[in-house]
Structure formats: C-alpha cells, structure tokens
Amino acid sequence: MMNHFDLNARTIERRNGFITYLKEAEKIADFLALIGAHNAMMKFEDVRIIRDMRNSVNRLVNCENANMNKTIDAAAKQVANIEFIEATVGLGKLPDKLKEIAVIRLENPDISLKELGEMIPSGAISKSGINHRLRKINDYADSLRMGKAIR
C-alpha cells in the first residue's frame, strides 16, 4: 500500500512477523504527512534540519582545518628552505625580489601569502605573485641540495 504512493517501502520477515520500513528521510516525512501525523512530521523535519546543519558545519570546520594544516606545512617548508639557503650560500645569492620575500617570510613564518604580499617594501604583490616567488625559492633550495645551484 505504501508503494502505491511511491514511498519505496521495503518489507522483511522477522521471527515475530513482518517489518516494513522506509530508507529515505524524505519518504518518511511524506508517509507521516500522508497518515495525518503532522506533529510527528514537523518534529522529524526539525531533527533532520538540525542534523543537516551540524553536518554542514562539521564539513566546513574539517575543510578549514585541512586548509590551515596545509598552509602551516607549506610555510614551515618555506622557512626550512630559506634557512637552508642562508646556511649554505647566504641569502645574498638570491635575486633581490626573492631575497625580499625570503627575509619577510623568515621574520613572519606564520602569516598568510596575502599578508606577505602586503609587507613587500617595493610595493604590494598578489598572492599568486608571492606563491610564484616562494616556489622559485623552494626550487633553488632543491637544486642546492642536489648540487646544481650556483654557489
């Protein structure tokens, strides 16, 4: 009878008889409305809405935490590479634009790329520009480790 209303009800046999159930929350709400249990349907929908909101918030928090961890890891790698360059050949071997970023990153290891870009004495640089320069510094440190960089 429930399937007559497109509720996709399923039935299983147990020791004490048959059990009919619905898997989809939307179908459960439809069934409650269909049988006139409007208060139960409203309570069910309230619980569903709260659960969905909590799940959304948890997803956002998890995403934010993952992004924060990636940012922290990237900044730590940048600082380690800059310190390696400083210890092996000195920051003076870097082109002025890269040296400028390297010094600011060492002094401010925990700020964002946007904030780094705003601190450049020669003029503000976009996040993408800062990222490009930091990638060049990382590449230079990698080539130094492999003995390919100019000392």
- Predicted confidence band of residue 6 (pLDDT cuts 50, 70, 90): confident
Confidence at residue 41, expressed as pLDDT on a 0 to 100 scale: 94
Q: Which of 3-17, 71-85, 91-105 has the lowest mean pLDDT?
A: 3-17
Report the domain count for the chain.
Answer: 2
- Residue 119: burial class (beta carbons within 10 Å; 0-12, 13-18, 19+): middle
The pairs formed by 4-10 with CB atoms below 8 angstroms and a separation of 24 or more are: 5/30, 5/31, 5/34, 7/31, 7/34
151 found inside a domain = no
59 found inside a domain = no
Q: Are residues 135 and 82 in the same domain?
A: yes
List the domain range (segments joined by +) for residue 38: 2-54
26 found inside a domain = yes
Distance (Å, whole) CA 31 – CA 44: 11
60 found inside a domain = no
61 found inside a domain = no
Confidence at residue 7, expressed as pLDDT on a 0 to 100 scale: 84
Q: Are residues 37 and 82 in the same domain?
A: no
Give the count of alpha carbons within 13 A of 146, CB side only: 6
70 found inside a domain = yes
Confidence at residue 8, expressed as pLDDT on a 0 to 100 scale: 85
Q: Is the pLDDT of residue 99 over 70?
A: yes
Q: Are residues 91 and 125 in the same domain?
A: yes
Confidence at residue 46, expressed as pLDDT on a 0 to 100 scale: 96
Q: Are residues 70 and 141 in the same domain?
A: yes
Confidence at residue 139, expressed as pLDDT on a 0 to 100 scale: 96
Confidence at residue 149, expressed as pLDDT on a 0 to 100 scale: 60
Q: What is the mean pLDDT of residues 51-78?
A: 96
Q: Are residues 79 and 16 in the same domain?
A: no
Q: Are residues 86 and 47 in the same domain?
A: no
